[in-house]
Each structure stands twice: as C-alpha cells, then as structure tokens.
Amino acid sequence: MKIFRKLLYLDDGKGIEKGAPEKRAFFRFWEILWLKKYKLVAVNFMYFICNLIPMVLAAASYMLAVSLYFTLTGKSMSVMNSPEGAHLYTIGLVFVTFLFTIIPVYSLGPCKAGFMYIIKSFVKREPCFIWHDYVTKTRSNAKLATQASIINGIIGFVIMIDTAFVMAITTPGTPLEQAFPGWIGFFSTLILICLSVLFFTMMLYIYPMIVTFKLSLKQLYKNAMLFAFIKWLPNLGIVLLNVVMIAVPLLFIKNLLAALLLCVVVYAVFGMGFMSLVNTSFTYPYLKRFMIDNYKADKSRTEEDTTAEENQTEEIRLDDGNIIPDWKPPVDTLEDLYGEDYDDVLNEEDESPEGEEDER
C-alpha cells in the first residue's frame, strides 16, 4: 500500500527542482526560522545567561543618567514615588536595557561573537554545532570582540549621559533651559538623534564582520560606518523595527508586572535570538555584496592573495616565455589511450603467465 511505502521511505521524495528560483528574502527568513526554531531557542538561552552582566551595566547606566537629569534640572526624585512616575521609570529602564543589549551596545564581546556566528550560519543555511561552534568562535574572536565591546559600552554610556544633559537644557522652567538659547537645545537634540541612529546602525554590522572577516579594529569601525551610510534609509528602518518590537509589550500591557515578566520570558527563551536573526538577515546580504563577492574590498587578504586571484584566469607562462598548452581531460577509451593497436595490448594481457599479478 502507498501509505506504508511512505512511512517506510521506500519511495523517492519530490526533491528540489533543478534550476528552481530562490525564494524571496521575506519567505526565506520565515523558512529558516521554522527549520531552526529549536536550535534558536537553545542558543538564545545560552547567550541570555552570558548577557546578564551587560544587561546590569545597561540598567546601571540608565539609572545614573536619570539621576543626572534630576540633578541638572534641580527637581526632586520624589516624583518616582508616585504610581505614574514609578511606572514610567520602570518602562524606560526595561526598554533601554533590552535595546542597548540587543542592538548590541552593551555586550560580552566574545560571547556575542560566538552567538553571532551561529546566527550567521542560520542565515546562510549552513550546518553548525551549537555548543562546539559557540565555544570555538568565542575563543577565536575574543581579542577583537572584547575591544569592540569596550568601545561600544563607553560610547553607549556617553550617549545616555548626553541624552540626560540635552533633556535638561530643553525642559521648560529649568535653570539650564534659561541659560542656553533655544536654538542650542534644538541643534543639540538633532545632532544627538543623528549620531545615536548612526551608532546603532553601525552596531548591526560590527559583530557579523568580526566573525566573517579578519579585520583590524580601525578597519572594523570604518567599514561599519560605510555600511551605515550606504543604505541609510533601510538601516533606519531596521533600527526603528527593533525599537517598536521592544516597546510594544511595554506600552500596550497595562499591568506593569505582567509586562516585565513577559519581556524577561520572551527574551530569555526566544526574543534575543529572533531579533538577532532579523538583524543578521538584513545585514548579511550587504556584507556578501560589498565585501565577500567583491574580494578587493576585503582588507583581510594580503597583496599576494589579491594578485593571485587577479591572475588566475590569465595564461601561465614558463621561464623561457613559452605558454603551457591547455590542459586536456583524461582519456575515456582504450582507443584514445593506446591508439589503433589497443587489441594487441589486450591480447598481450591475456597471454601473461598465470599467477603473476601487477603490484599496485
């Protein structure tokens, strides 16, 4: 019966149609997500545990920035004792903590590199071993990833402090607002927003490049900035998508405790891996287009490697200037090998003494 043949895998499957067009990026993303859902949960939980320290640092930076804002404005933090103030403060704390660790501004660099390598393998649809590849890539990229995480953390902290200062000089009725003209507050806000978006966009490319290319720290940030400007409008869209996906459960769930529990559970189980898969699915095609396929843009290659690849299609010449003849494939028939006398060769082999064998 046909049903038993299918259960026992006795019939050939449909297979992949030869020359079938590749699916669009949107449908390909959901296909990858469905096929890798269990592995994504596993690596998400591994990275969430390693990312607890950066999350604490992001939360501490937010609390320090809020404290600085109240100090500069001369207001009392007693407003936080009210239900509305406590609710707003907690939402801001959770939002900033998750945003700055998912983008990622605050991260444990080596662990983020191992996590990103697995996510990149999912996007490329390459096989990977979760624990082995995570540990291996964490070790092999430890130096550069640690340097990048320290620089990113410092810049992220400066952004939070600058945000507190700009909000202080634009809050009506405060001493700083009266000391600075209005145009200074306007341009300060505009510059802060532009630089913050630029920095967040660069963060989307930093770790995918770390686990893909062999770059110096200077080349890493230079390339990240170039990618931020190449497709600035799609980059802005993906940053806003991250903001919306983090803010939605916080803004539309009335119960604050329920919103916090939902965020922690979602991001510990699936959320961080899902959003990283979204970001990497967006950034990796640009890396492939402008760096992988364009080998001249890959600064990790030496000049000798570049010269060899440029000359690989040219004719190879001997020392005396003669051109090596074109390579021919191996012959397939005895007639090609021995000529017209191949029957005599076969007869000689048949007449060889018994017991003698060729040693191979």
Q: What is the pLDDT of residues 5-50, one digit of tens each?
A: 544 445 555 544 555 566 777 888 889 889 898 999 999 999 999 8
What single-letter amino acid sits at 36?
A: K
- Of 166-170, 183-187, 230-234, 343-347, the range with the lowest mean pLDDT is 343-347
CA distance 46 to 273: 10
Is 169 domain-assigned? yes
Is 245 domain-assigned? yes
Q: pLDDT tens across 284-320, in order?
A: 999 988 888 876 655 555 555 555 555 554 443 444 4
What pLDDT, on the 0 to 100 scale, is given for residue 2? 54
Q: Is the pLDDT of residue 333 over 80?
A: no
Helices and strands, number each (H, E), in the chain: 17, 0
pTM: 0.74
Q: Is the pLDDT of residue 325 over 50?
A: no
What pLDDT, on the 0 to 100 scale, is given for residue 324? 42
Is 32 domain-assigned? no
Is 9 domain-assigned? no
Is 68 domain-assigned? yes
Is 84 domain-assigned? yes
Q: Is the pLDDT of residue 171 over 50?
A: yes
CA distance 203 to 103: 6
Boundaries of domain holding 94: 38-302
Is 73 domain-assigned? yes
CB within 8 Å of 234: residues ≥ 6 apart: 282
CA distance 353 to 160: 92
| Mean pLDDT calculated for residue range 270-295 | 88
What is the tally of structural domains in the chain? 1
What pLDDT, on the 0 to 100 scale, is given for residue 88? 83
Burial of 99 (0-12, 13-18, 19+ CB in 10 A): buried
- Of 1-5, 74-78, 130-134, the range with the lowest mean pLDDT is 1-5
User: 72-80 long-range CB contacts below 8 Å, 24 or more apart?
Assistant: 72/164, 72/165, 72/168, 72/174, 72/176, 73/168, 73/171, 73/174, 73/175, 73/176, 74/174, 74/175, 75/174
Q: Is the pLDDT of residue 81 over 60?
A: yes
What tokens does 146 get?
């640690």
Is 341 domain-assigned? no
Q: Is the pLDDT of residue 238 over 90?
A: yes
| Mean pLDDT calculated for residue range 56-74 | 90
Asked whether the beta carbons of 324 and 316 are under 8 A apart, the reply is yes
| Mean pLDDT calculated for residue range 317-325 | 43
What share of residues in the chain are helix, strand, coil (percent, to 5)? Answer: 75, 0, 25
